[in-house]
Amino acid sequence: MKKIIVCDAIHQKGLDILEACLDVEFIDASKESKDKLLEIVGEYDVAITRSSTDVDQKFIEKATNITSIVRAGVGVDNVDIEGCSKKGIVVMNVPTANTIAAVELTMAHLLSSARSFPNANNHLKYDRIWKREKWYGIELKGKKLGVIGFGNIGSRVSKRALAFEMEVIAYDPYIDSSRALDSGVGYTSNFDDILDCDFITIHTPKNKETIDMINFEEIEKMKDGVRLINCARGGLYNEDALYNGLKSGKIAYAGIDVFTKEPAVDNKLLELDNISVTPHLGANTVESQQKIAIEAAEQAISAAKGISYPNALNLAYKESELPQFVKPFLLLAGKMGYLASQINLGHVKSIKVIAEGEISNYLEPLITFALVGSLKESMGEMINYVNADFVAKEKSILIQGIKEANRSEYKNKIQIALTTDKDYVLIGGTVFDEEIEKIVHVNKIKLDFKPKGRMIFFSNSDKPGVIANISKALTEHNINIADFRLGRGEHGNAFAVVVVDEAVSKDVLRKLESIENCNKVAYATL
């Protein structure tokens, strides 16, 4: 009989489900010391953890029989996913159980930002001052709400805002616009339309594209008296820019649940009167904790029985199951997919994986890695190696795998073709001896560079002066060039890959786009 260990405290309803399952044994070890936990964890097949238990190298070494780990919650910062994968351990999380809790907290902050409820409450309750004229607010009805990110939470916030008779407009380059329009919400592909709203709320993953998504420049473009909400991830709004906007009055009010550094007890935003704050309470409801415990218990039972691995975040493979030469190609396929999605931002329509040589015998795992890489930019931790096919079907993404005869100069070669609603990109790559990964062409223009670091991709007409202008623009912004690779096409076009040492801002990209003979600029990090 399979055995489940509960390493950290979960709601009693989750324990009740485990107790009622006659096909598995379980132990609640949440009150054991961490040293004791490490002594006994090797006796079990599945572990349920939360933030108190670090699933690190030491834990993995002791967990000799563990085949699956369920992280009861969304975050997996304390889980060594790569280490688990190498040991054949499936890592799962519970990403949607707190959806309603996060939605309703967002609405609470939205209402507070309109009526200053926390301030008015404190003024009367603690200062004992009755001054109604000090707390004039505004009505939600008729106001425009900009929703950044139209996923599980953003779409539900929009639905509730419509009930308040607000005009709602969504921005999410990774969805089909019909998803918003069919629900009565406006859709825009122009981010400036969001900046023109009366209220703005953000519901995106935290990644290089969304960090500081609202910064000084974006706030400057906003209406005077705008109100901002963030109950998603700390750092999506630049906190210095937010502070300045609130202090100057450009931003009338903000509702913030998450911070760049937590606990945020010393954050300067707390000094301001025109902001309501909560200590990362997005999942803190009784119902949410119950749902998390129930889903974690059910996932653990399914995994113990080998039925399914819901919300798996990794591919559980043992190194001995694949030939040694295959593994670096799988990793390369994931990187190429991720690279393609950054070069070709937009709603993914189709993904094609083309393989030549012996590696073409492993087309199925190549497709899976490429698919996860391609959707990582838009979905973050929500996409994984187990649910990738299901997600692709749900999003109507066409997937093709093509096995071709080896016509290139490489022993093995893979290509990823990614089509979005905006553009098309084709990337080719190979792995040389000693597992050296190389990109060998982009859109059939020959190149030679490692898929690593900060990369600017520059498509242009093959005319004199372009390289000099690129170098000049980067020098003006104090950005050092680490590597520069140029490829020339057959029809007067060229493609450059510029590897740089420093992060590249939107201002720099706009400067590069303004260079004469420039066709397209993209920025990617790996």
The per-residue pLDDT for 11 is 95
Q: Which residue has the tokens 């949607």?
A: 96
Q: How many whole angstroms separate alpha carbon 3 and alpha carbon 462?
A: 64
- Antiparallel, parallel or unpaired: β 251-256 and 275-277: parallel
pLDDT at 318 over 60: no
Least confident of 52-61, 125-134, 158-167, 381-390: 381-390
Q: How many whole angstroms separate alpha carbon 215 and alpha carbon 402?
A: 43
Q: Which tens digit of pLDDT belongs to each residue from 341-360? A: 999 999 999 999 999 999 99
Q: Angle 285-290-291 (CA atoms, 0-180°, nearest 5)?
A: 100
Q: Which residue has the tokens 């106001």?
A: 143
Q: Which tens digit of pLDDT belongs to each residue from 403-419? A: 998 887 899 999 999 99
Query: What secondary structure letter does DSSP report for 518?
Result: E
Do residues 149 and 232 make contact, with C-beta atoms less than 8 angstroms apart?
A: yes
- Antiparallel, parallel or unpaired: β 90-93 and 518-525: unpaired
The per-residue pLDDT for 315 is 65
- Closest of 293, 275, 304, 261 to residue 66, by C-alpha: 304
pLDDT at 392 over 80: yes
- How many other C-beta atoms lie within 10 A of the C-beta of residue 239? 18
For residues 466-499, one letter each, b for 16 or more C-beta atoms within 10 angstroms of the residue's C-beta and e for the rest, the string is beebbeebbeeeebeeeebbbbeeeeebbbbbbb
pLDDT at 320 over 70: no
- Closest of 468, 469, 459, 462 to residue 496, by C-alpha: 459
CA terminus-to-terminus distance, the chain: 43
Helices (H) and strands (E) in the chain, counts: 17, 22
**Structural domains present in the chain:** 2-97+287-305 (3.40.50.720), 99-277 (3.40.50.720), 322-452 (3.30.1330.90), 454-526 (3.30.70.260)
Q: Which residue has the tokens 């933030």?
A: 51
Convert 474-505 into a string of H (helix), E (strand) and C (coil).
HHHCCCCEEEEEEEECCCCEEEEEEEECCCCC
Q: Which residue has the higher pLDDT, 473 or 51?
A: 473
Convert 235-295 into a string of H (helix), E (strand) and C (coil).
CCECHHHHHHHHHHCCEEEEEECCCCCCCCCCCHHHHCCCEEECCCCCCCCHHHHHHHHHH
Alpha-helical regions (H) of 344-488: 363-379, 388-394, 466-476
Q: How many whole angstroms separate alpha carbon 185 and alpha carbon 193?
A: 14
Q: Which residue has the higher pLDDT, 175 or 238?
A: 238
pLDDT at 319 over 80: no
Residue 487, phi then psi, degrees to nearest 5: -125, 145
Q: Which tens digit of pLDDT belongs to each residue from 78-100? A: 899 888 887 879 999 998 888 99
- Closest of 81, 14, 4, 5 to residue 37, by C-alpha: 5
Q: Which DSSP helix (H) or strand (E) runs through 387?
A: none
CA distances from 29 to 78, 98, 204 (A): 18, 24, 35
The per-residue pLDDT for 322 is 75
Q: Angle 292-296-299 (CA atoms, 0-180°, nearest 5)?
A: 140
Q: What mean pLDDT do residues 36-47 have?
A: 96
The per-residue pLDDT for 316 is 53
Percent of the chain residues topping a pLDDT of 70: 98
pLDDT at 317 over 70: no
CA dihedral defined by 97, 101, 106, 111, rounded to 10 degrees? Answer: 160
The per-residue pLDDT for 412 is 94
For residues 428-465, one letter each, b for 16 or more C-beta atoms within 10 angstroms of the residue's C-beta and e for the rest, the string is bbbbeeeeebbbbbbbebebebbbeebbbbbbbeeeee
Q: Is 77 exposed, middle or buried (0-12, 13-18, 19+ CB in 10 A)?
A: exposed
**What Rg, from alpha-carbon coordinates, does the chain have?**
25
pLDDT at 478 over 80: yes
Do residues 311 and 299 make contact, with C-beta atoms less than 8 angstroms apart?
A: yes
Catalytic positions:
233, 262, 280
- Closest of 453, 417, 432 to residue 328, by C-alpha: 432
Q: Report helix, strand or coil for 511.
A: helix
Q: Is 20 exposed, middle or buried (0-12, 13-18, 19+ CB in 10 A)?
A: exposed
Q: Rounded to two decimals, what is the model's pTM?
A: 0.76
Q: Angle 296-381-321 (CA atoms, 0-180°, nearest 5)?
A: 80
Least confident of 72-86, 269-283, 343-357, 452-466: 72-86
Least confident of 5-19, 31-45, 369-383, 479-493: 369-383
Q: What mean pLDDT do residues 324-351 have?
A: 93
Residue 114, phi then psi, degrees to nearest 5: -85, -35
Q: Is the peptide bond before 263 cis (omega within 30 degrees of 0)?
A: yes
Q: How many whole angstroms separate alpha carbon 55 and alpha carbon 81?
A: 9
Q: How many whole angstroms separate alpha carbon 434 and alpha carbon 65?
A: 32
Average pLDDT, the chain: 92
Q: Which residue has the tokens 């140029």?
A: 486
CA distances from 408 to 155, 214, 448 (A): 47, 45, 15
